[in-house]
């Protein structure tokens, strides 16, 4: 895993010549040293105005033959590449079948470049099984290519400021360039307050975007106005799978799912460094670890978990029970309150733009623990979104059925009441607005976004007026599927890449650890999208995936209520973190920053601090926003 950065600047001459350019791009790359502590590299073509920088976390081919930026054997392409191409062995065999014989090393980067050299960029992207963010310079056609993996596991920011085009794994690298203009995007702030993360393609800075999952962008040297386009269109793929659904029995589906899971794990087990797995004791991570143990000798699989001193939040006994049964080499770290509070202060710098999922705290501690023992770790991410692990899918579907059955005049009245009471924070008006909101939605997706939102548009928390438009467009399905299934799909395109993957990527990369997610293998994802609702929606609590796990782990070890991976922040805000929160939520500070409505926030803070109401999640978004502002001002 690595950090990448690139600059396209026709005015390189103003930067003081090749040495100055090399120093600048090297300094930008060095801000990503946590992503790549093992090596660094810079490539500059001053005549073309192109510079590429790289920080390396060596996973495959630890020798100098795996260094980046790497030039293709033909000399045409130069690449910086963050991620892993899991099927590089298969691609190498294809190339050798076409006559390729000589290789410098055995890195996946070299295979990727050779495949692009022979087949072109877009055809190559369609053949990749992996997680990646790619920056590629075509020296012959003088154009820059950017690409991101199908499920959005690896980050890639891009944009133009003052005549310079940038791309990077993280925003902090861009802030090192003198042409970068860090102007906050008010709409992105409002979206963050709603979701606790910033959805793609937005970023916190105006003019800087995230490349959406499954997209590619071609930038000719003399024309920077091109828009990204999908090389893997998730909605089209999901509809195609639904149009030709899996026709086998449930037992056959379980068998196929098990095969795909085991193959995905096997592909992700290839590394030239020590490898382990996160283990919570839940269905998803236990299934991944069980697959690992079937391909390795007992005791050779290393697993890691964290626990809390408060038993209400502690999953570690469940993880240890699974580890004992599967005979893994298991390590548990019990987190103290001091451990968590120390991490809280580091979150803004770690996540690089506002991010407010509280589970980022234990995830950061878990990654730090794991990085002390291995360099690569498997995770169970994606299981909930694919197999319906959240109760909100069915709840939101039932709620919409009530709304859809309400006469239109009453729904119009509800929307008027919501608009009239927006931003009002007296208790009677809040209650009236809450009652009206449930019936005010024009479509099921706006209702679902309220289910996963931490502030609602009508709360009036965002200071800048912004469009309440849904940040993710979900076209009406051409094939009949349940609404709950549509909500699962929405999560795979919004919540999964922009919350869960951001959390794991930043927390793991902060300590030089690579995290791999077998459930996000696109072959497995497409298979699950082909399964009928009877096998997913009508089998609650991830029934089909449980059946796969039960072949390796007894039911009595893993059958238990779902438990969130979150620390007791509500109490901390009334205790150990109260002074910190008081400072960040001071009325004058909020007014001066001008990003939120101080009256709305202060009313919730008073309610929470006195124990009258629990506003943990909505307040945490404002706290993380303000803490992030402090981190970039420092």
Give the pLDDT confidence of 167-186 residue by residue, as tens digits. Answer: 999 999 999 998 998 899 99
The residue with tokens 């509280």 is 358
- In 10 A of CB 95, how many CB atoms? 18
131 pLDDT more than 50: yes
- Topology of the domain covering 234-567: Rossmann fold (3.40.50)
What is the structure's pLDDT at 63?
A: 63
Largest CA distance in the chain: 76
* pLDDT per residue as tens digits for the range 206-234: 999 999 999 999 999 888 888 999 999 99
What is the structure's pLDDT at 412?
A: 67
The mean pLDDT of 473-495, rounded to a whole number, is 76
Q: Which two tokens stand for residue 572?
A: 């901390």
* pLDDT per residue as tens digits for the range 579-609: 999 999 999 999 999 999 999 999 999 999 9
Half-sphere exposure of 117 (CA within 13 A, CB side): 21
**Banded pLDDT at 97 (limits 50, 70, 90):** confident
What is the structure's pLDDT at 481?
A: 77
What is the structure's pLDDT at 299?
A: 77
Tell me the CA distances in angstroms from 130 to 204, 351, 437, 495, one per residue in order. 27, 23, 42, 20
Transcribe 354-376 into DSSP letters: ----TTHHHHHHHHHHHHTT-SE
The mean pLDDT of 320-347, rounded to a whole number, is 90
43 pLDDT more than 80: yes
Q: Using the CB atoms, write b or e for 518-544: b if 16+ within 10 Å.
A: bbbbbebbbbbbbbbbebbbebeebbb
How many Å from the N-terminal Cα to the C-terminal Cα in the chain?
A: 28
Of 107, 116, 52, 113, the closest CA to residue 84 belongs to: 107
Of 225-229, 406-410, 456-460, the least confident: 406-410
**Banded pLDDT at 436 (limits 50, 70, 90):** low
Q: Which two tokens stand for residue 272?
A: 């030239």
375 pLDDT more than 70: yes
Q: How far apart are CA 505 and CA 520, in angstroms?
A: 14
What is the structure's pLDDT at 477?
A: 46
Transcribe 467-508 into DSSP letters: ----SS--PPPSS---HHHHHHHHHHHTHIIIIIHHHHHHHH
The mean pLDDT of 364-383, rounded to a whole number, is 94
Q: Which two tokens stand for residue 17?
A: 């010549």
Superfamily of chain region 2-232: Aminohydrolase, N-terminal nucleophile (Ntn) domain (3.60.20.10)
Q: Using the CB atoms, write b or e for 494-508: b if 16+ within 10 Å.
A: bbbbbbbbbbbbbbb
The mean pLDDT of 251-276, rounded to a whole number, is 94
470 pLDDT more than 50: no
Secondary structure (3-state) at 143:
strand
Of 70, 33, 366, 56, the closest CA to residue 170 belongs to: 33
514 pLDDT more than 60: yes
**Banded pLDDT at 144 (limits 50, 70, 90):** very high
What is the structure's pLDDT at 414?
A: 64
What is the structure's pLDDT at 315?
A: 84
**Banded pLDDT at 404 (limits 50, 70, 90):** confident
Task: Identify whether the C-beta of residue 154 lies closer than 8 Å to the C-beta of residue 133.
Answer: yes
What is the structure's pLDDT at 170?
A: 97
Mean pLDDT score of the chain: 89
Q: How far apart are CA 529 and CA 509, in angstroms?
A: 30
Q: How far apart are CA 139 and CA 50, in angstroms?
A: 10
Q: Which two tokens stand for residue 144?
A: 């820059």
Of 210, 78, 64, the closest CA to residue 143 belongs to: 78
The mean pLDDT of 194-215, rounded to a whole number, is 95
Same CATH topology for 2-232 and 234-567: the answer is: no
Of 46-50, 75-79, 462-466, 493-497, the least confident: 462-466
- Residue 519 DSSP label: G
Most confident of 147-156, 173-182, 443-452: 147-156
62 pLDDT more than 50: yes
Of 12-21, 307-316, 483-492, 566-575, the least confident: 12-21
**Banded pLDDT at 433 (limits 50, 70, 90):** low
Contacts of 161 by beta carbon, 8 Å cutoff, 6+ apart: 179, 180, 181, 207, 208
Of 272-281, 397-406, 465-474, 559-568, the least confident: 465-474
Q: Which two tokens stand for residue 626?
A: 């303000």
Domains in the chain: boundaries: 2-232, 234-567, 569-633
Q: How far apart are CA 83 and CA 514, in angstroms?
A: 9
What is the structure's pLDDT at 449?
A: 84
Which pTM value belongs to this model? 0.93
What is the structure's pLDDT at 476?
A: 46
- For a pLDDT cut of 90, what percent of the chain falls above it? 67
Chain-centre distance for alpha carbon 102: 37
**Banded pLDDT at 445 (limits 50, 70, 90):** confident
């Amino acid at each position: 895993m690595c950090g990448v950065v690139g600059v396209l600047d026709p005015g390189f001459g103003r930067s003081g010549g090749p040495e100055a350019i090399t120093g600048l791009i090297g300094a930008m790359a060095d801000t990503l040293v946590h992503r790549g502590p093992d090596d660094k590299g810079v490539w500059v073509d001053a005549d073309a105005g192109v510079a590429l920088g790289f920080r390396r976390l060596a996973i495959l081919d630890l020798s100098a033959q795996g260094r980046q930026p790497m030039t293709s054997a033909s000399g045409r392409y130069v690449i910086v590449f963050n991620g892993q191409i899991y099927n590089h062995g298969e691609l190498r065999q294809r190339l050798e079948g076409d006559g390729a014989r000589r290789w410098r090393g055995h890195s996946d980067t070299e295979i990727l470049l050779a495949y692009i050299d022979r087949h072109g960029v877009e055809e190559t992207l369609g053949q990749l099984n992996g997680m990646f963010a790619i920056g590629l310079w075509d020296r012959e056609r003088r154009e820059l290519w950017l690409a991101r993996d199908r499920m959005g596991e690896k980050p890639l920011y891009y944009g133009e400021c003052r005549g310079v085009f940038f791309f990077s794994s993280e925003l902090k690298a861009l802030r090192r360039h003198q042409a970068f203009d860090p102007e906050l995007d008010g709409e992105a702030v409002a979206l963050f307050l709603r979701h606790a993360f910033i959805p793609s393609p937005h970023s916190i800075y105006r003019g800087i975007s995230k490349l959406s999952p499954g997209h590619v962008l071609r930038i000719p040297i003399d024309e920077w106005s091109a828009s990204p386009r999908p090389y893997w269109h998730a909605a089209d793929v999901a509809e195609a799978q639904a149009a030709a659904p899996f026709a086998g029995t449930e037992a056959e589906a379980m068998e196929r799912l098990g095969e795909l899971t085991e193959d995905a794990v096997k592909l992700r087990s290839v590394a030239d460094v020590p490898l382990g797995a996160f283990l919570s004791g839940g269905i998803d991570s236990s299934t991944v670890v069980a697959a690992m143990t079937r391909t390795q000798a007992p005791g050779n699989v290393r697993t890691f978990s964290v626990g809390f001193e408060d038993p209400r939040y502690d999953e570690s006994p469940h993880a240890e029970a699974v580890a004992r049964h599967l005979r893994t080499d298991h390590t548990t770290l019990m987190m103290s309150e001091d451990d968590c509070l120390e991490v809280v202060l580091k979150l803004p710098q770690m996540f690089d733009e506002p991010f407010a999922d509280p589970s980022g705290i234990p995830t950061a501690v878990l990654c730090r623990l794991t990085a002390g023992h291995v360099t690569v770790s498997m995770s169970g991410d994606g299981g909930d979104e694919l197999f319906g692990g959240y109760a909100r899918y069915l709840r939101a579907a039932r709620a919409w059925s009530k709304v859809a059955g309400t006469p239109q005049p009453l729904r119009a009245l509800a929307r008027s009441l919501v608009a009239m009471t927006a931003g009002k924070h007296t208790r009677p008006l809040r209650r009236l607005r809450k009652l009206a909101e449930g019936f005010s939605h024009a479509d099921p997706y706006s209702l679902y976004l309220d289910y996963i939102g931490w502030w609602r548009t009508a709360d009036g928390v965002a200071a800048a007026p912004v469009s309440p438009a849904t940040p993710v467009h979900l076209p009406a399905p051409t094939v009949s599927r349940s609404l709950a299934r549509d909500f699962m799909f929405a999560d795979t395109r919004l919540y999964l890449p922009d919350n869960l993957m951001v959390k794991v990527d930043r927390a793991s990369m902060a300590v030089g650890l690579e995290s791999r997610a077998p459930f996000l293998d696109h072959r497995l994802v497409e298979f699950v999208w082909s399964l009928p609702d009877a096998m997913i929606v009508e089998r609650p609590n991830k029934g089909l995936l449980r059946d796969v796990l039960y072949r390796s782990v007894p039911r009595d070890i893993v059958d238990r209520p779902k438990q969130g991976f979150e620390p007791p922040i509500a109490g901390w805000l009334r205790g150990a973190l109260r002074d910190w929160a008081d400072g960040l939520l001071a009325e004058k500070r909020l007014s001066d920053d001008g990003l939120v409505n101080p009256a709305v926030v202060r009313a919730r803070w008073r309610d929470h601090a006195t124990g009258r109401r629990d506003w943990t999640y909505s307040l945490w978004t404002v706290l993380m926003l303000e803490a992030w502002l402090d981190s970039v001002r420092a």
